[in-house]
Every structure is written in structure tokens, then in C-alpha cells.
A = this chain, B = another copy of it.
Amino acid sequence: MKNQITSALSDFFFEYETPRQVLVRNKRVGLVCRFIQMGVLVYIIGWVFIYEKGYQSTDTAVSSVFTKMKGVGYTNVSGRETVWDVADYVFPSQGDSSFVVMTNFIITEGQKMGKCPELTGKCTSNDDCTEGSYKRTGHGHMTGVCVNTTKTCEVLAWCPVENDTIIPKPPLLTSAENYTLFIKNSVTFPLFDVTRSNLVEGIDGAYLKKCLHHPKNDPLCPIFKLGDIVKHSGFSFEDLAQEGGAIGIVIDWTCNFDVDVKHCKPQYNFHGLYGNKDSTNASLGYNFRYAKHYMENNEAKRTLLKVFGIRFDIIVQSLARKFDIIPTLTAIGSGVGIFGVATVVCDLVLLYLLPKRKFYKNMKFKYTDTHTQDPDSEAGSTETEQK
């Protein structure tokens, strides 16, 4: 018994099976098949490996973004000069990856809680103003009174109510065009354990002090002029500043870690979000309301700002690649499978399309019995007949 196992094992280890093959010497079939095989080979090597880099595994990054604006705005509304610095025009102030730069505003000063007539929505009698109800676009809580002088409902609200029918034109803070934006971005590819910052090699304090991003001359400088960003995303700054808009700043990290990690550098692209350029779009502009509260003569008051601004979303796109044995062998393995398909196709040609197909059939196949064998076989000497 033990001998048998040993012998079976030695048989197994010292033997090797290889498929027996027919070598068909036929120019037509040979050429067709070789070309099919070449095609598969070119596809595997050229497309899967070289073009699509199928020998690499991929990973996307987790990223962290911090922004900082610089610049001072100036408005002169009916003789009142005001300066707007970064604490006034950036929302939120702490440097998030998504923020709004105010470019235009409607200010309603000295609002306090009280009763005053609405601006819109005509009423003819008190019956039109149900007490305690609201309108979807109203400013407050109806008191049930239709004010005679304005012919609108009286509301309990922050009074006087905001009048936002006229948006200042040109936008009040056109100087926003000259503000600069500094972006710090770090990305980590967890699979490859690589961390990169957009302050890559060669960007030091001295360079940061004087550089300004330019797609050709300074593509790696992380300091951007707002006007440039808007221009590169295809808008006119004045149009966008008027009613606000949204711009995406895409930081693209497409990295190949088979080469030195220092070649992994960000690319900056800018494009409009929400399709503001498209005139058929349903909802244009970007605005929100913001209040500064204060106490005056023991009364709670507020200054309401309807802020029109450009919202910047910093979007980090990342795709890193590195050689990995698994996708490589999977690509090879499935490539071999496709080779098998090529063989099947050639066999079909050989066995069903060629004039000498019966001859080839007999060459290729050996039958375990003879009753269905083709009588007019071209090659008479098959092994089954020799029995």
C-alpha cells in the first residue's frame, strides 16, 4: 500500500502532461489564426498593459484642504466709505474647503422685532391676512391686519422688512477680483502609504511670498487670483459677482508610484458648478442671508445682509497607481483565456469552413467508436481505423 502511494506520487512528480496537437500546414488558416492571435497579444500587451496600465493596482486618496483669502474690498454707498477685510467677506471664516466670497450685498440696517407691513402680496381687507399664517416667501407671522397705506398684510417680523428687489449693479465689491486665495491640500493614499502636500518640492517660503498661479508659467503655485479662477472657468467676473455663482476648483492628483514619488504633483482646474453659463437653467445665482446682532438702547437689533457671492468648492480628485502582482497575473490569466477564444474561432474556421474540413476533423478528433464516422473522410488512416 505504502509502495503504491510512493509510486503514485513519484509518477505524479516525474510525469508531465502536454496536449497533443495537430500542426495544420495551411496558409489560409495559418494566416487567419496567427493574425487573430497577434491581435489578442497586441490587445493584452498594448492596451491592457501599456495603455491602461493593467499591471497596476489603483487607490484614491483621503484629503484635507485648508484655504486662506487675502485682500481688502472697498465700497462707497451714498458717500459712506467702507472697507471689507477677510473677517467680513469670507463665510465661513475658518478656511474650509467650501467657502463663499461676498461680491455684492443688500444691507438692511437696524432691524428690530416688531410689526410692519409686508412689501409684496396685495390685500384688500383684513380677511386676506389670516392671523398666525405665513407665506412661503413672506418675512413673518401675519397679525391679521391689512395695512391701509401699503395695501399689504401686516406681519410680526424683523422690521423694517428687507427689500431685495433691486440688486446693486455694478456689484458693490468688484475689487474681489483682486483677492488672492491660498490653498493648502494634503492627500494620503492609504493603500500605498504615501502622503503628499500641494506644497511640493521646490515650493518654499520665498517662492510662496511672490508667486501667483498661472496655468503655464506657475502651474504649481497654490496662490490664485480670484479674477483668474473665474476667467479660467469660463465666466465673466462682473456677471458672476452681480448675483453670485458657484465655481469648482478641482485639484487633480493622478500619480504613478512606479516612478519617483516626487513626480506626483497636483493639477488645478476650474469649472462652473450648477451650470450657470447655461441660460436655460432654472436657478441662477448664489445668495444667502446673514445677520449681525447687536444691542442698542437695550433693544435687540440686527443688521441683515443678503450676501451675493461666489462659492468656491475645492474638489480633490485622486487616482494613484502602482505595480501589483495580482492585477498583473489576473490580466495575464484572462488574456490567456482570450487566447483560448481565438483558438476556438480558428477551430471553427478549420472544421466548418475549409474545403478540406473533413480531413482536418479526422486529424483533430479521435473517436471512441466508429458508427457515426464520415465515410468519405479524406484522410483514411485515423487511429481508430487502425484498430
Give me the interface of A with B, judged by CB distance under 8 Å.
Answer: 11-27, 29-31, 33-34, 43, 47-48, 52, 54, 62, 64, 66, 68, 70-72, 74, 81-83, 85-88, 91-100, 113, 132, 134, 136-141, 155-158, 175, 178, 180, 182, 184, 186, 188, 190, 195, 197, 199, 203-205, 207-208, 246, 248, 250, 273-275, 280-283, 286, 288-296, 298, 300-304, 307, 311, 313, 315, 317, 325-326, 329-341, 343, 346-347, 350, 359-360, 363-369, 372, 379, 381, 383, 386-387
Contacts and interface: CB of A to CB of B under 8 A. Distances in A.
B24 A12 contact: no
29 contacts: A13-B31, A15-B23, A21-B366, A22-B365, A22-B368, A25-B367, A54-B326, A62-B317, A64-B248, A70-B137, A71-B134, A72-B140, A81-B156, A83-B141, A83-B155, A85-B139, A86-B288, A88-B291, A95-B288, A95-B311, A195-B275, A205-B283, A207-B282, A329-B334, A330-B331, A330-B334, A339-B340, A340-B340, A386-B386
Contacts of A303: 293, 300
Question: Within the oligomer, what is the number of copies of this chain?
Answer: 3
B14 A27 contact: yes
B346 A16 contact: yes
Contact of A86 (B22, B289, B329, B335): B289
